[in-house]
Amino acid sequence: MIMTIVKNKVDAVIVGMGWTGAIMAKELTDAGLNVVCLERGPDRDTQPDFAYPRVVDELEGSVHRKYLQSLNKETVTIRHGVNDAAVPYRQMGSFKPGTGVGGAGSHWSGCHFRALPEDFKVRSNIEQRYGKKFIPKEMTIQDFPVTYEELEPHFDHFEYVCGTSGKAGVINGKVVEGGNPFEGSRAREFALPPNPNYLGGELFYKAAREMGYHPYPIPASNASGPYVNPYGCQMGPCNFCGFCSDYGCLNYSKASPNACILPVLRGRKGFELRTLAQVMKVNLTADKKKATGVTYLDAQGRETEQPADIVLLCAFSLFNVHLMLLSGIGVPYDPVSNTGTIGRNYSYQNLNRVSLFFDETVQANQFMGIGGGGTTIDDLNGNRNDSAKTGFIGGGIVWARQPGGGPVRGIATAPGVPNWGSGWKKGVKEAFRHSFYYEVQGSCMAYQDAYLSLDPTYKDAFGRPLLRMTFDWHDNEIKASQYLVEKASDMCKVLGPKAIKGDAKKDGDHYNVTQYQSTHTCGGAIMGSDPKTSALNRYLQSWDVSNVFAPGANAFPQNNGYNPTGMVGALTYWCAKAVRELYLKNPGPLVQA
């Protein structure tokens, strides 16, 4: 007989210690709550885990993937269509979830955008501009149940927590020179000015202006100078070490839960962090209307119950959805009848690259890098994309970004260079210091046949069904890819490179999980204004189990052209405010269904 250890009840239990978990823990302990955080991975901090020189070992970081989730315990299965059998995501490829304290927030790059005001109302905006019939029936896009204006203070606060370095384009409704003239209005400038620019990012200004575009610095949560955030956490100027994505920051420059929030949480009264604690499920009352806490396996593998008044699902987006499905929270989505909510509207990111190769006089130095820095344009994003003309809904940004590349992470070579032998050696030698790339980061709409569910065959290391992802590219995204890559290539030609290599999606292309594209896996437990078509209400509260909140990219009804972290942080502060100011006073549904 298995004896379950039962812990003392707490006010709130948090599942996962990445950005959303750290923000929630800070906000709720500020409000005087007793909070326990359960993190499946190990504890991590700048010292010793991200300390130089050990952290910059490319073999450990980018081959052994030391800072990412190991797939041997938990992964997903993937299939293209609702009638296919899914197979496991056995090796890390298309997306890279994190683990441990900091989560994906410790190994991200640092691109820190806000969504555009029109990104919040994609459906009504398109219907207004082009009529209701313009949106294909199978495209299940929805408006966010919050507005840009409501989130603005939270975008702002999160940027100041992160020491985000950039240039405002619109402050209090007035366009400011040097920033993005198309952005939603800000209350003030960024926390720090933009970082210095590398060659490719500088040339991007030239190319973009030649095309009549409006280039601006990518908002980077990589500090451009010494900085102390509102919590008193110190950050140092980014030194362009070139180890952002896949790695923890050695320099307290890249914003992370570890550097920007945990220093004030550790040791705080009312905060307890338990690592190597694998949450198995959320426990519900018999009527499934309330959560009583969670069951987890402690570091020794013992089944342990943590009772709590509030359960905050703060795992990586995919695993939030997994836990909801495993726990019986809400009704699983059925793509045939288009009913149910958990798993609905899974979306991704439409990422495409154009590489530029120059001769040896051009010092591109791709080993120098900053994850979030560089240059971008919004001229093809949001309302600048005239869908009637381009034939696709959504948009995207084109950017010059150089997160830093070492040879183990791969050296892109010019067209025609072989993969081995003397020809390859010559090719990598010519390319390594004299090439850079631009990327197109496109939005990804939601569809009736793109969703998350439990796999009928494959199990994780704990015996639970794996999460199953059903996803493929649709014509809308393929068209967008071709259009945006063509525009990016036109920009590249202005710079006169020796060679250009682009990778636009071709008609009929299918989702390929073997190539890294983006860790921006979104949706599956989306926020909305209708409990029939969304898992969460406007406060990220479960419609079905009112003491469960699930902040994260899982809440996006569809994905826009930006990196999600800025939006995820803002939504989490918005959610925390609702818990503090509304829920605690009157526990129960914050929006009547």
Partner 1 sequence: MSDDTQSPSRRSLIKTMMFVPIGAAAATGVVRALQPATAADANAPEGKPNTYTPAFFNQTEWKFLSAAVDRLIPHDEHGPGAIELGVLEFLDRHMQTPYAAGDIWYMQGPYVSAKPEFGYQGKLPLRDILRVGIKNVDGYCASQFGGKAFADLDRKQQEEILKGCEGGKLKLEDISAKLFFTNLLNETRNGYFADPKHGGNKDMGAWKMIGYPGMRADYLDWVEVRDKPYPIGPVDLAGRRG
Candidate list 206, 288, 426, 532; residue touching partner 1; CB under 8 A: 426
Which of residues 65 and 186 has its CB atom nearest to partner 1 in the complex? 65
By the rule CB under 8 A, 433 interacts with partner 1: yes
Candidate list 124, 128, 172, 239; residue touching partner 1; CB under 8 A: 239
CB 561 within 8 A of CB 397: yes
User: DSSP 3-state assignment of 373?
Assistant: coil
Which of residues 285 and 512 has its CB atom nearest to partner 1 in the complex? 512
By the rule CB under 8 A, 365 interacts with partner 1: yes
By the rule CB under 8 A, 172 interacts with partner 1: no
By the rule CB under 8 A, 198 interacts with partner 1: yes
CB 575 within 8 A of CB 551: yes
Task: Tell me the number of residues near partner 1 by CB under 8 A.
Answer: 63
How far apart are alpha carbons 61 and 67 in whole angstroms? 7
Closest CB 491 distance from partner 1, rounded Å: 20
By the rule CB under 8 A, 567 interacts with partner 1: no
- Of the candidate spans 158-166, 192-200, 340-348, 549-557, the one that interacts with partner 1 by CB under 8 A turns out to be 192-200
Candidate list 88, 153, 181, 465; residue touching partner 1; CB under 8 A: 88
Residues in 500-529 at the binding interface with partner 1, rule: CB under 8 A: 510-514
By the rule CB under 8 A, 465 interacts with partner 1: no
Structure-token pair, residue 302: 């013992």
> Which one is catalytic: 112, 154, 322, 520?
520
CA angle 270, 284, 532 (to 5 degrees): 110
Closest CB 208 distance from partner 1, rounded Å: 18
Cite the DSSP H helix spans in 15-147: 19-30, 46-49, 58, 104-107, 122-130
Candidate list 82, 87, 276, 331; residue touching partner 1; CB under 8 A: 87
Which of residues 80 and 157 has its CB atom nearest to partner 1 in the complex? 80
Concatenated DSSP letters of 538-569: TTSBBSSSTTEE--SGGG-SSB-SS-SHHHHH
Type of residue at 294: V
By the rule CB under 8 A, 206 interacts with partner 1: no
In this structure, how many other beta carbons lie within 10 angstroms of the beta carbon of residue 583? 21
Structure-token pair, residue 378: 């919004």
Q: Is 122 exposed, middle or buried (0-12, 13-18, 19+ CB in 10 A)?
A: buried
By the rule CB under 8 A, 242 interacts with partner 1: yes
Closest CB 258 distance from partner 1, rounded Å: 18
- Of the candidate spans 185-193, 283-291, 299-307, 417-425, the one that interacts with partner 1 by CB under 8 A turns out to be 417-425
Tallying the residues shown for the chain, one arrives at 593
Closest CB 113 distance from partner 1, rounded Å: 22
Which of residues 70 and 283 has its CB atom nearest to partner 1 in the complex? 70
Which of residues 200 and 531 has its CB atom nearest to partner 1 in the complex? 200
How far apart are alpha carbons 177 and 167 in whole angstroms? 9
Candidate list 408, 462, 493, 532; residue touching partner 1; CB under 8 A: 408
By the rule CB under 8 A, 576 interacts with partner 1: no
How far apart are alpha carbons 280 and 275 in whole angstroms? 14
Which of residues 93 and 307 has its CB atom nearest to partner 1 in the complex? 93
Structure-token pair, residue 458: 């494959």
Closest CB 266 distance from partner 1, rounded Å: 27
Closest CB 452 distance from partner 1, rounded Å: 17
By the rule CB under 8 A, 293 interacts with partner 1: no
Type of residue at 381: N
Cα torsion 240, 243, 245, 249: sign: negative
In this structure, how many other beta carbons lie within 10 angstroms of the beta carbon of residue 488? 26
Closest CB 428 distance from partner 1, rounded Å: 6
Concatenated DSSP letters of 213-241: ---EEPPBSB-SS-EE-TTS-EE-----B
Candidate list 241, 485, 540, 567; residue touching partner 1; CB under 8 A: 241
β-sheet bridge partners, residue 296: 279, 304
589: closest CA among 553, 510, 536?
Answer: 536
Residues in 324-363 at the binding interface with partner 1, rule: CB under 8 A: 363
Strands 271-274 and 35-38 come out as parallel
CB 94 within 8 A of CB 513: yes
* Ramachandran region, residue 391 (left: φ > 0; alpha: ψ -120 to 50; beta: rest): left
In this structure, how many other beta carbons lie within 10 angstroms of the beta carbon of residue 388? 10
Candidate list 54, 288, 302, 493; residue touching partner 1; CB under 8 A: 54
By the rule CB under 8 A, 375 interacts with partner 1: no
Closest CB 296 distance from partner 1, rounded Å: 21
Q: What is the dihedral of CA 224, 229, 233, 239, to 10 degrees?
A: 0
By the rule CB under 8 A, 75 interacts with partner 1: yes
Structure-token pair, residue 58: 């490319």
Candidate list 204, 213, 392, 432; residue touching partner 1; CB under 8 A: 432
Q: What is the dihedral of CA 459, 463, 464, 469, to 10 degrees?
A: -10
- Of the candidate spans 328-336, 422-430, 516-524, 529-537, the one that interacts with partner 1 by CB under 8 A turns out to be 422-430
In this structure, how many other beta carbons lie within 10 angstroms of the beta carbon of residue 226? 12
Which of residues 140 and 350 has its CB atom nearest to partner 1 in the complex? 350
520 an active-site residue? yes
How far apart are alpha carbons 34 and 543 in whole angstroms? 24
Which of residues 245 and 306 has its CB atom nearest to partner 1 in the complex? 245
Which of residues 128 and 512 has its CB atom nearest to partner 1 in the complex? 512
Which of residues 90 and 188 has its CB atom nearest to partner 1 in the complex? 90
CB 13 within 8 A of CB 311: yes
By the rule CB under 8 A, 58 interacts with partner 1: yes
Give contact residues for partner 1 (rule: CB under 8 A).
52-54, 56-59, 63-65, 70-72, 75, 78, 80, 85, 87-93, 196-199, 237-243, 250, 363, 365, 367-368, 406-408, 411, 419-422, 424-426, 428-429, 432-433, 457-459, 510-514
Give the catalytic positions in this structure.
520
